[in-house]
A and B are shown apart, each in its own frame.
Chain A
C-alpha cells in the first residue's frame, strides 16, 4: 500500500547536504540570551579535554594515609586493598548483613548476582528494621514516614493533572502499605493458630 501522507514541502534535509536554517542568527541569540556563546571556544570549557594532568587539587600526599579499620569492612573483590578512606555509616548486621557480606565476597561487580543479592538484602534489611523498631519506643510509622501528610495543602489534584506518572503513582501506596498489610495478616493467622492450639 502506498504511503499517502503528504510530503512536507521544503523537506530536503537530510536528503541533501545542508542543515535546516536556524530560526535566529547568532546576533539575535546573543541579544536574547545572557552569556550566549561565552564558552564557544572549547578552551574555555573546564571539562575539556576530559583528562588533564597537573590540576591543583589541594592534596598534600601521594597516597593518602589509611583510615583505621575498627571492624572488618566489606569491599568489592575488584579492589586490591581496602581504600585509604571509606564510609562508616551503618555497618553490616543481621540477616541482611550476611547476604551483603556474601554478595561482596563472592561476586565481582560484573556479575548480576552481586547486585541482585544486594537489592534482595535491602528488602530483608527493611523488614528486619521494621520488626526491630516495634521493640523500641519509636516504632516505624508508615503514615508520617512516607510524607503523605504533605498531600494536604499542596494541591494533590491540580499538581497531577495531565501527567502520565499518575498511572503508576497508585502503585506507591501499595508498595508502602502492602508489606504491612501482609505482615499483619501473617501475624493474625499465626496468632489465631496459636490460640486454637492452646484451646484444644
Chain B
C-alpha cells in the first residue's frame, strides 16, 4: 500500500509499505478515504517530537471504510464507513473509566505521561497513522464510530481532531456569560475554539495571529475581533488596552510548540530543539489573562522543559487547564450543534492534496503558502 513516510526533519516521501495487519483481537484495518494534515503534524515534521523514527507514517485525522476486523470486534463490520478519533484508547483503564480518553494507560508503552495517538511518534505509542491507503485501528469497538449518514465526509474528518479540540479547548476555559475570551492562534484549532467560545456565551472573542488570511477567517467564520501581533510592539499591552486594562477573563492557547513572536524562543525550540516547545504564546496567555483568570492550553508541547513564566501564573492566581482532547466525548453534543447549523467544519478547508503529493502539501502548510489553513489528503487521488 502507499503511505506517507517520514525521512528526517523537513523530509517526507510516499512509499510502498506492507499492508497493516490485525495484531490484537480488537483491531480493525481501515481503508482511508480522506485524511488531514494537522498543526500537530508540523511538530513531527520539524523534528521536534522525541522518538520520531525515520520510516514512520503520520496522520491522526482520518475517515475510511472498515477493510478487516479482528476476532473480538463486535460493533463494526467490514464495509462500515467510520470516523476515527485521533486518540487510541482502551475504554476501561483507570483513566478511560473516568472519561479521560486521551490519557489512556493501556496503549502507550513508551510513555506514561502521554496517551496513544495515531501516527504521532513513539512517544505516543509507535503507531502508524492514516496518511496512507490503510491503517491499523486498535480497539475498534471503542474509538471509531460509524459516520452518520447526514454527515459530509470532510466534516467527519474535521470532527476527528480540529473541531473537537477547539470545542474542548473552549470548555476547558470555563467560559461564563459575558466573558472576554482571547484565542491565540488562528489555525484550525484556534478558529474552532473561537467559534465554540460563543456557544458557551462569551461576550467578546478576540483572535490573535500574524497571518492575514487566517485573521480574515477569524472575522468571517468565527465572528471574532482580531489582532495581528506583528502590528503591535507588545501584544500583551494591546490585550490589556483592549480589555480596559483588566486583561482577558479567559485565554486559549491554540498555537503550541512552534510559536513565533520571539526569535530566541522560536529558534531555541523549533529550530535547535533545546526546549520542548516555544512558550511564546503560552507566556502571552499567562501575561494577557486577568488575575484569577483561566488559561486553556490546546497548543501541543513536547516533553522537554520549556521556559514558561510560571511565576506570573502563580502570582496572578491563574487556573491553567490543558489536555489532549478526548475527542469522542465531544461528539454527541458537537453533532447536535452541526445539525442545528451552528457549526460547519469544512468551511475552513482550503486544500485537497493527493497522497502522492503530500511532501508538497506539508511544505505548503508548514510555510503557510497560498492561504493554506486546513489541507486534506486524499489517497489514490492525483
Contact = CB atoms under 8 A, between A and B. Distances in A.
Contact of A147 (B26, B127, B178, B360): B360
A149 B99 CA distance: 44
A173 B9 CA distance: 11
A40 B362 CA distance: 38
B50 A122 contact: yes
A68 B23 CA distance: 7
Contacts of B309: none
A129 B334 CA distance: 43
A196 interface: no
Interface string A58-102: 111111110110000111101100111111111000001000100
Interface in A1-40: 8, 11, 13-14, 19-20, 22-24, 26, 29, 32-40
Contacts of B106: 63-64, 83-85
Contact of A164 (B210, B334, B343): B210
| Most A Cβ at <10 Å: residue of B54, B246, B332 | B54
Contacts of A175: 9-10, 271
A163 B211 contact: yes
Interface residues of A, number: 101
B7 A129 contact: yes
Contact of B7 (A145, A162, A169, A172): A145
B304 to A, nearest CB: 5
A142 interface: yes
| Most A Cβ at <10 Å: residue of B112, B128, B302 | B112
A16 to B, nearest CB: 11
B11 to A, nearest CB: 4
Interface stretch (B183-191, B194-202, B310-318): B194-202
A140 B8 CA distance: 10
Nearest to B371: A159
B126 A87 contact: yes
B110 interface: yes
Nearest to A14: B246
- Mostly, the A contact residues are loop
Given A112-B305, A119-B50, A151-B369, A86 B109 contact: yes
Interface residues of B, number: 111
Nearest to A15: B245
A169 B367 contact: yes
B131 interface: no
Contacts of A126: 7-9, 47, 54
Nearest to A155: B370
B78 interface: no
Interface in B99-128: 99-101, 105-113, 116, 122-123, 125-128
Interface in B250-304: 260-261, 263, 266-267, 270-271, 273, 276, 290, 302-304
A122 B52 contact: yes
A148 B363 contact: yes
| Most B Cβ at <10 Å: residue of A45, A60, A147, A160 | A147
Nearest to B105: A83
Given A46-B333, A87-B122, A164-B260, A63 B9 contact: no
Contact of A162 (B230, B303, B343): B230
Contacts of B122: 87, 89-90, 100
Contacts of A168: 263, 266-267, 270-271
A176 interface: yes
B360 A50 contact: no
Contacts of B105: 83
Interface string A110-140: 0010011011011101101110010000001
A62 B326 contact: no
Nearest to B246: A14
Interface stretch (B28-36, B60-68, B138-146, B150-158): B138-146
Interface in B328-346: 329-330, 332-334, 337, 340-343
Given A52-B99, A122-B51, 14 more contacts: A35-B198, A37-B198, A58-B75, A63-B92, A63-B106, A64-B139, A74-B110, A115-B276, A115-B302, A122-B52, A148-B363, A149-B360, A175-B10, A176-B9
24 contacts: A14-B245, A20-B243, A22-B203, A32-B223, A34-B342, A40-B177, A51-B100, A55-B329, A65-B24, A65-B72, A76-B112, A79-B109, A83-B105, A84-B106, A84-B107, A89-B55, A89-B57, A100-B51, A122-B47, A122-B51, A122-B52, A145-B7, A147-B361, A168-B271
Q: Identify the 9 closest CB pairs spanning chains A and B, nearest first.
A: A147-B363, A35-B342, A59-B91, A87-B126, A126-B8, A57-B91, A20-B244, A150-B360, A87-B127
Interface of B: 7-13, 23-26, 47, 50-57, 72, 74-75, 88, 90-92, 96-101, 105-113, 116, 122-123, 125-128, 138-139, 141-142, 168, 171-172, 177-178, 180, 196, 198-201, 203-204, 210-212, 223, 230, 243-246, 260-261, 263, 266-267, 270-271, 273, 276, 290, 302-305, 326, 329-330, 332-334, 337, 340-343, 359-364, 367-371
